[in-house]
């Protein structure tokens, strides 16, 4: 069961946690982005404020004129009130999914490490709807959370999830926080896919502007001895969709242009077979194609390939060479993707369909003749090339 944040021991332990990794890699960029986007006179809601650490950072950096922090934990709010004596800071206890303020009150909302502690999609939807209600039409929502691609990877002060385990959307995930002088605080949160964040926000009336990885530029930033392949945090920035449409209608934006979206295609080969998924969404809904998906802003092609593959199939693989690129155009649904094919070699993992995959299975070329494959590009041709490249690599002298 997800950790109860209303427990005094959890509140005290989390407040004692030294969040210097989060400060360096996540909170500092957040403060800079908020100040740049909203200006120093912004009135900001810190939803899920805990003991007020982020609220204090915003005021200390003059990134807001006033911050209102709300949290479901009375103990957390008491700590915030004691530790944040600034007149511009106010703190209140709330019920989850409720903000005791009128519509259109806040110029910005920050929501740090909250969604991962929400146990159900319905509660996520309720929170998103409430944040949309209290945000001004031209305001900005900033979400900072654990990067699902870094699940199971140990960092100097924390680890989210167990190494080697594949998590499905909504799975419980054990978290270990190193508390200075006292040991380890064990928590349980939820593993939510990025697509779940986007879907919940879209349902609430938000348009997601970007999803940005937050990671170290050098290992010295966070005291690690080896390179960081998976940034530990992510930041989602969103605006109200109605505001964007109003701006267009008022002539503030003269045009909206759509461009093909780059996406990754993971061609995983194992024992003469390729891994395919049966797609849940358009294009090619209900048909078999390769796992893959959109490349997020700031994400490398190989990181996106590994992430999408794990999210959709539960398989972990080593990415190799790029060997093809194909257009996927679905004019009926206004979709155009450029799929970049990456040859991958299976490492570990049992097949578990997730994200936008209804099923996942291994197929030979002969097997593919008996299944409905995607119609927007030549799945079999990609499979033939991937199998041939894998054979050539196996035959090369060591």
Three-state helix/strand/coil letters over 315-354? CEEEEEEEEEEEEEEEHHHCEEEEEEEEEEEEEECCCCCC
Task: Say yes or no to pLDDT of 257 above 50.
Answer: no
Task: Say yes or no to pLDDT of 221 above 70.
Answer: no
Q: What is the mean pLDDT of residues 2-30?
A: 80
Higher pLDDT pick, 14 / 118: 118
Q: What is the mean pLDDT of residues 52-69?
A: 93
For 256, which DSSP code? Answer: -
| HSE of 58, CA atoms in CB hemisphere, 13 A | 34
CB neighbour class for 132 (10 Å; exposed up to 12, middle 13-18, buried from 19):
buried
> Which has the closest alpha carbon to 343: 310, 380, 376, 387?
387
Q: What is the pLDDT of residue 97?
A: 87
Percent of the chain clearing pLDDT 70 (strictly above): 88
Residue 141 sits at φ, ψ, to 5 deg, of -105, 130
Q: What is the pLDDT of residue 258?
A: 47
Q: What is the mean pLDDT of residues 94-108?
A: 90
pTM over 0.85: no
Query: pLDDT band for position 247 (50/70/90)?
Result: very low
Q: What is the pLDDT of residue 178?
A: 87
CB neighbour class for 382 (10 Å; exposed up to 12, middle 13-18, buried from 19):
buried
Q: How far apart are the first and last CA of the chain?
A: 50
Q: Answer yes or no: are the C-beta atoms of 44 and 58 closer than 8 Å.
A: yes
| Lowest-confidence region among 76-90, 95-109, 235-249, 305-319 | 235-249
Q: What is the pLDDT of residue 256?
A: 34
Query: pLDDT band for position 295 (50/70/90)?
Result: confident
Chain centroid offset of residue 69 CA: 23
The two most distant CA atoms of the chain are separated, in Å, by: 72
Q: What are the residue numbers of the active site?
A: 359
Q: What is the mean pLDDT of residues 361-366?
A: 96
Query: pLDDT band for position 252 (50/70/90)?
Result: very low
pLDDT tens per residue, range 324-340: 999 988 766 557 889 99
Q: What is the pLDDT of residue 246?
A: 46
> Which has the closest alpha carbon to 343: 395, 285, 301?
301
In the numeric block, the tokens 């070329």 are attached to: 365
Q: What region does 164 belong to: left with phi over 0, alpha with psi -120 to 50, or beta?
A: left
Edge-to-edge strands of the sheet including 106-112?
89-93, 66-71, 43-47, 106-112, 135-146, 233-240, 206-214
């Amino acid at each position: 069961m997800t950790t109860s944040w209303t427990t005094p021991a959890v509140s005290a332990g989390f407040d004692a946690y030294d969040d210097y990794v989060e400060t360096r890699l996540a909170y500092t960029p957040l403060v800079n982005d908020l100040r740049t986007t909203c200006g120093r006179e912004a009135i900001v809601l810190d939803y899920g404020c805990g003991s007020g650490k982020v609220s204090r950072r915003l005021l200390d950096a003059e990134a807001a004129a006033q911050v209102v922090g709300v949290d479901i934990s009375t103990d957390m709010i008491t700590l915030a009130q004691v530790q944040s004596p600034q007149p511009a800071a106010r703190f209140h206890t709330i019920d989850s999914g409720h903000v005791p303020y009128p519509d259109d009150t806040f110029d910005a909302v920050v929501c740090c490490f909250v969604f991962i502690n929400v146990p159900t999609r319905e509660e996520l939807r309720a929170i998103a709807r409430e944040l949309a209600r209290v945000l001004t039409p031209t305001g900005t929502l900033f979400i900072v959370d654990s990067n699902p691609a870094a699940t199971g990877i140990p960092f100097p002060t924390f680890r989210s999830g167990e190494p080697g385990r594949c998590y499905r959307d909504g799975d419980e995930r054990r978290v270990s926080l190193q508390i200075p002088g006292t040991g380890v605080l064990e928590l349980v949160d939820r593993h939510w896919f990025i697509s779940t964040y986007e879907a919940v926000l879209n349902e609430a009336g938000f348009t997601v502007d970007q999803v940005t990885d937050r990671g170290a530029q050098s290992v010295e930033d966070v005291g690690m001895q080896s390179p960081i392949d998976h940034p530990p945090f992510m930041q989602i920035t969103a605006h109200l969709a109605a505001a964007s449409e109003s701006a267009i209608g008022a002539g503030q934006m003269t045009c909206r242009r759509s461009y093909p979206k780059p996406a990754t295609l993971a061609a995983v080969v194992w024992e003469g077979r390729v891994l395919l998924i049966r797609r849940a969404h358009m294009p090619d809904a209900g048909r078999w194609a390769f796992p893959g998906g959109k490349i997020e802003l700031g994400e490398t092609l190989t990181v996106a390939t590994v992430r999408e593959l794990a999210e959709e199939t539960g398989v972990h693989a080593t990415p190799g060479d790029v060997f093809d690129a194909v257009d996927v155009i679905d004019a009926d649904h206004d979709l155009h993707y450029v799929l970049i094919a990456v040859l991958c070699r299976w490492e570990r993992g049992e097949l578990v369909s997730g994200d936008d995959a209804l099923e996942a299975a291994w197929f030979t070329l002969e097997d593919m003749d008996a299944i409905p494959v995607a119609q927007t590009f030549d799945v079999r041709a990609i499979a033939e090339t991937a199998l041939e490249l894998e054979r050539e690599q196996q035959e090369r002298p060591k």
